[in-house]
Structures are given as structure tokens and as C-alpha cells.
Structure 1
Amino acid sequence: MAVGVTWFFPGAGGSSTTCVLNKDLAEPFKTEQGLLNAGMFAPLGFFGLLASRRVLATAAWVVAAPVAIEVGQAVLPWVGRNCDSSDAEMNILGGVSGALVAWLGTYIAKARLQPVQPQVRPTLLSAGATLVVCAVTWQVAITPIAVDATSLQSPDDAQKQAATDAFRTAFGDRYTFANVQLQPGPDGHDSLLITLERDGEATLSWPKTDRFNVSLESSSQPGPNSYPVGGSSRRDVDATEAYAIARRYAGEHYPWALRGSTHRTYPVGENAEFGWMTSWRFLQDGVVMPAKLDVEINRAGRVSQLNVDSGPPHVKLPPIKLTRQQAVARARATQTTLDGVSVKARRLAAYEVRGHWRAQWVVAIIPEGSDPSSVLVDATTGRVDDSGPDG
């Protein structure tokens, strides 16, 4: 039901499922999604009361059912839907409103309703027990994440200008926007979603505009929307030519990346069907720094994908105390089951945690037959953060 929220299954190596708590209670009233959620449950409350004639039972179930649905969406991997407090909020309000309208109708029509006293015990056994199960599941398996809002919103002038500036830095005035939307994220880490007029899309972090990801095309057949470097295109470039083109592009648009500690060029897709990616990274005592640049050059020698992190190339870090093996052991200890699960430390990277830079081991959790996930293990304290790396 919710829009644009990332969450993780507990089955993927034991990581907690996250559920979004929207701090803006008024926001769903301003969105089509919120009103639809209310409208969907209003008939259930209305017809539920008319059919059962039980006020207490109907009221309890229009509260318990939305809560159970959201908790179920969070913990059942085959459902594939997001958990969002705004959905439950509007479902409950819709159900209660429908029940109130039905109650008012029966009052005006002087229709008979069932007495409340006989409803107490069966209601506690059914709806009450459902809420207790939901509460226990929430406590054991769900990690709440408070956000300012969950629905896509219209950008203000500053956000529109930030999107324009990011594209001008990357591509000049070549591309025109079809739409720009603000996607709220946890702890104020929002994103601008940018759709191009022809093909292509991009995301820009907000309010810190340091992360910029662009996809100009996703086909293995190079198209006109990819970006020509130097005003010309080639046919069927190889790795050496792709690196030369990517380097020329970086020198023109992101010259700071060329001062990186290391770079590599590698194929994208089977037999480089999508082209070649060149990545520049900054290293500090073996720790990967925030600043990075990835430029994908398609087989026609044009830029098709771009990932930019203009964070600092060097930061002050606390002393590193955990080895790679110790980080793996810490991550492994958080897993509820180890059957068929492989745990590997990918890299040591710098991440900003509550305003301070920390060295973190990025540890991959790879269940057999399932998609991998990642956790961060603080290289100084050993603290494990199962929300995973965010970039």
C-alpha cells in the first residue's frame, strides 16, 4: 500500500523487518493513496455493523484488521507489500467512519442493535487476541523507523533548482525534466525523484545533494538518450576505449574524481552487453571514503549510467579495532539461523553516523537460494547495524 519505502525480510539471515511510522498524521489526508485507503475500509465498517448488529465487535475489528494487515505485510515474505502506519491510520478511520454512519442510520430508523455486554468476551477472544499477537510480533520481529512523511510530494523551488543544477553539472542543458517529486525518507534523509522527458530517470539526495544517480537507458541496445562525450559516438567500444571516454567525461564534469586513489573498468552484463563501468574511489588507510564516481559507457561510447557521491575524499576516523574476521563473527552472531547462510566482509568504508564519521565493515549475509543483504559492523565498537549500507 505504501509508496517508496524500503524494508527487509527477517528470513534473509535474521535481519529485522522495518516498518515506517509516519510522524505527519495529517499527510495521508492530502494524498489520493490515503483517501483510497479510507474509502476501502468504510464499506467494511458500514456493512459489518448492519450485518452483525454488534457495535463493540465491529468497532474492535475495524481497528484490529488494519493493524493485522500491516504487520502481516511486514513479516510475510510472499506478500511483497510495504508496512506503513499511514495505511493503518486511514484504514481504521475509514472503517470507524463507515460503522458510525451505519450506527446513525440504525438510530434514525430505530432499528434494534445487539446488547453490548454479551459481545465483550467473544470480542476479547478474537479481536483482542489478534492485537496481542500483532503486538508480540512487532516487538520481536519489526524495527520501527520514524519518517516525516511517506508519500511522494511536490518539490519546492529550492528542490527544483537542486535537480536542475545536478543535471547541468553532469550533462549541461541536454535533458529536460518531465517531473520532479520529493520522496521522504527516514530521519530527514529524503530524495528527489527525477523523470526525464524522453527516457531516463535519476535520484538526488536531499537536503544534502551529495548523491546523484542517473539512468539514461537500461537497454543493451544503445539509444539516442545516452550522453555523447566530446560530441561523437563510436561503435562497439572495448574496455580500453570505454575507460578513455569515461576519463574524458570525468575530467570535463567531475575532475575531482581523477584524483582518486584507485580506479577500475569492468564489463556490465554478459559479454559487456551493456558496456563498461569505470569506478573511481578514494582510500584512506584501507578505508573506502565517501567520495566516488561511477561512469558507465555503452557499446556506442556514450554515457548511459552515472553514480556520483560528492562526499569528502578524506575524513577523520576513530581507531580501527576490529579485523575482517572479527567483523564477520559479530555479524554472524546476529543471525537467528546459520543453515545455508554465508557471511562475508566485503569492504571497510566510512559512513556518517549521527553527524560523526565511522569506519564500518560492510558484511554481506548470503542465504542459500535467497537474495543477499548487508549489515554494517562498526570497526571501532563492533556495533552491528542491520539496516545495511545506504549507498
Structure 2
Amino acid sequence: MAIPIDARKRWFLVAIGGIIAFAALVLVFWPSVRSDRVGIEGPINSSQLDSAKRAVREFFGPDMPLERVRLAGSTPNSGQAVRISVVTHAGDLTVSWPTGEVVSGRLGVPASANVATPLSDEDALEAGTEFARLHFPWALNGSEPKIHPVGGGGDNSRIVEWRSRKGGILLPMRLDVIVAGDRQVSSFAARHVDMPVLPGPVLSAESAYSLALVGHPGMKIGSSELISKVDDSGVGHIYWLMSLVAADVPNEPYAGATGVGDGRPANMVAIIDAVNGSVVDSSKLAEFSG
């Protein structure tokens, strides 16, 4: 049976009204749905996304939205640890996966904060220690802080760094915190590594010195550092890092000196396994200084 004309009109108006109401809801909620989907770059699973959200809550508060999340260093067989890069309008963070630990961040402190007020080493240490106690308490256990200016040009910020040593060997843990002139932390980098079991015995500095100079006539040792490194299997290793400089560089004392040598800026760096004496390819230096 045919629908009367008045009934058809009423049905048509109801249908149009429903479409308009649905369109209004889409317009209201579409921006948030769209930003969530566009902000996720790459194959991120729900656990990784949860880690990113937890990190943002810890450093920026519970109401800070994520703008972009992506994976870095996750290519199969790349040899790199997986990192989750998280961006917000207040700053960005890098999260290690699967540990979920935050390893670096920029906290969106304006550049003007670096020149607003002179910052003493004591103030920088106090602000940096408060930040470390809140976010990285492990870095304060058995470590020694050092404070350095960040740069020139009227920049009053300071870097506070924590390092640990065992028997003169630099351990792989680290925390670097940059404190701006107004005592706000502007950025940080952290490496949480438990105390490794270290091998021995260790080559003397003089033995490593001789090995480092093999094949490098006309060079001498500028500075050296005995460091430890933990490989992907969790095994600890010890290395001598030695900077090589031209032999005709004067031997005046230099402020950057550590270990043997005079601490001159390096022309090249030699890496010596401090247990078996093997020379490590210097192209891998970033793995030892990162």
C-alpha cells in the first residue's frame, strides 16, 4: 500500500533530522579521533602506547595529551635498542622498550629562562638533585655529581652530571640534567644500568698506552679513561679509551686531563680491551661515549 503524502513528508523530515544530528556529533568528536590516529606513527602496540602515556603523566601531568608517538631503532637485526619517541606541546620524551624507562627528554623550558637570572653551581645542584630524586633516585646512590656551564652567549644554564666509579673504572650508569637560569630543568639524559660484574685483571695504563700507539707514528696519548660497558647479553667489559694527539703538541697542563697523558683535545681515539689487549674499531666510539 502506498504511503500517504503527509506521512512521506514526516518520514523524510525525521530522516533528515537524524542525519544532521549524526553529522553534528561527528564534527564534535572527529578532531580527537583524527589526532589520535595521525599521531601514532608506525606499528606501535597497546603496551608501548601505555608506556608512552605513563611517561607523559609522570613528567607533564595527567592532563597532557600526546601529539605524536613513534618507534625508533626498532628495525629487525639493526642492533639498536627499541626506543619510543613521544611528543607533546610541552616537550618530548624518549622511552626505552621493553623496560619502559624514560632515557631522555626536553621539557619545553623557554630559551629566555637561560638568561633571566644568574645561576650558581649550588642552585643548579639543588634543582638537579630534586629532579633526580623525583624521577631517577637510582642515580643518587653511590655516584658523584659534577656541575659545568652549558655554553656561552649569556646562557646561564648548568649541566649537572652523576657518574659512578668502582676501583677507578667508570661505570655505565649516567644521569645528565640541564638546569636553566630560573632553576627549571630544561632537558636530561639517563642510563640506568645495574652494577655489572667486571672481568679482570686489567691492563696497566702503560701497556694500553703502547698498544694504542701501534701503527700511529708521530702521535702520543693526550688523555685516557678506564670505562666499563655492558653488552646485549648483560656481560660486563672494561676498556681503555685513549685520545691520540700529535707528538709535537706541548705538554702544558690542560683542564680536561684525566688518567694518564695531559688531556689535550684528541685528533683520534683508540679503544683497547683492558683485559685481553685487543684493539676495538674506533668507528664504534659512539657505543662507548653515548
Asked if 1:180 is matched to 2:69, the reply is yes
C-alpha change, 1:207 and 1:243, in structure 2 (3 Å) is same
For 1:323, the equivalent position in structure 2 comes to 204
Deviations 1:18-69, CA, capped at 9 Å, x for gaps: xxxxxxxxxxxxxxxxxxxxxxxxxxxxxxxxxxxxxxxxxxxxxxxxxxxx
**Structure 2 CA distance for aligned equivalents of residues 302 and 167 of structure 1:** 18
For residue 177 of structure 1, give the secondary structure of its aligned residue in structure 2.
coil
Distance 2:224 2:59 in 1: 29
Identify the residue that residue 246 of structure 1 maps to in structure 2. 128
Counterpart position of 1:385: 280
Alpha-carbon RMSD across the aligned residues, in angstroms, is 3.4
Match in the other structure for 1:197: 89
Offset, 1:273: 0.9
Distance 1:211 1:270 in 2: 29
1:84-119 Cα distance to aligned partner (Å, 9 max, x none): xxxxxxxxxxxxxxxxxxxxxxxxxxxxxxxxxxxx
Distance 1:219 1:364, change over 3 A: farther
Task: Identify the structure with bigger relative contact order (alpha carbons < 8 Å, sequence gap 6+).
Answer: 1
Q: Which has the higher helix share?
A: 1
**How far apart are the structure 2 equivalents of 1:176 and 1:295?**
24
Q: Which whole-Å CA distance do the structure 2 matches of 1:302 and 1:153 have between them?
A: 33
2:189 to 295, 301, 307: 307
- Residue in 2 aligned with 1:350? 228
Instruction: State whether residues 222 and 266 of structure 2, in contact with CA within 8 Å, keep that contact through their aligned partners in structure 1.
Output: no
Aligned partner of 2:48 in structure 1 is 159
8 Å Cα contact 1:204-1:212 kept in structure 2 = yes
What fraction of aligned residue pairs are identical, expressed as a percent? 21
> Does the CA-based 8 Å contact 2:174-2:192 persist in structure 1?
yes
Whole-angstrom distance in 2 between the partners of 1:203 and 1:343: 36
User: Deviations along 1:280-326, whole A, 9 cap, x unmatched?
Assistant: 112111112222221111011100011111111x2210114223343
Counterpart amino acid of residue 202 in structure 1: L
- Figure out how many residues of one structure are paired with residues of the other and give that number: 224
Q: Per-residue deviation at 1:216?
A: 2.9
Counterpart Cα distance in 2 of 1:176 and 1:260: 36
- Cα distance in 1, alignment partners of residues 188 and 130 from structure 2: 14
Larger Rg: 2
Residues in 2 aligned to 1:214 and 1:172: alpha-carbon distance in whole angstroms: 15
User: 1-side partners of 2:57 and 2:190: how far apart?
Assistant: 14
The AA in structure 1 aligned to 2:121 is A
- CA gap 1:292/1:173 in 2 versus in 1, 3 angstroms: farther
Q: Give the TM-score normalised by structure 2.
A: 0.64
5+ long unaligned stretches in structure 2? 1-40, 250-264
Q: Secondary structure at the match of 1:321?
A: coil
The range that moved more, 271-280 or 239-248, is 271-280
TM-score (norm 1): 0.49
In structure 2, what is the Cα distance between the partners aligned to 1:259 and 1:271?
A: 35
Cα offset, 1:255, TM superposition = 2.0
Distance 2:268 2:102 in 1: 21
* 1:164 counterpart SS class: helix
